[in-house]
Amino acid sequence: MRQMNMSILRLLPRMAATFVLVLMLATGTSCTGKRITKANVEEVSEGMLKKQVESILGPPTDIDNKDFVIMKKTTYVYRQGKDTVTIVFKDDKVTDKQSTLSD
């Protein structure tokens, strides 16, 4: 009986960590807790690659891809409540950004 109690005690930290991870996934929060803020939108600059933008802002809410003969245009849209951030890529590099975020 005592050995069984010790086994359960050893499993508790692992079970607690699993519970926290499942709870975070269920509530839609990431491990970093990033949200769209004016400060991290300002980090995005012209010439950045998509991967760099996603490392700052996370995955976009919507993506619009257009392939033209001479270039590829992708628009990332981030929505948070009533605020919107739009990042435009031409040939996979940032060329424009617009935001309705206030301080």
> pLDDT per residue over 51-76, tens digit each?
999 999 999 999 999 988 888 999 99
Q: In whole numbers, what is the pLDDT of the chain averaged over residues?
A: 80
pLDDT at 5: 57
pLDDT at 19: 59
The domains of the chain are located at 1-33, 34-103
What fold is seen in the domain 34-103? Beta-lactamase Inhibitory Protein; Chain:B, domain 1 (3.30.1450)
CB 60 within 8 A of CB 89: no
pLDDT at 7: 64
Q: What is the pLDDT of residues 22-41, one digit of tens each?
A: 544 444 444 444 578 999 99
> How far is the CA of 64 from the CAs of 29, 67, 71, in angstroms?
24, 10, 14
CB 74 within 8 A of CB 94: no
CA–CA gap between residue 87 and residue 44 (Å, rounded):
9
Measured torsion, CA atoms of residues 34, 24, 77, 97, in degrees rounded to the nearest 10: 10
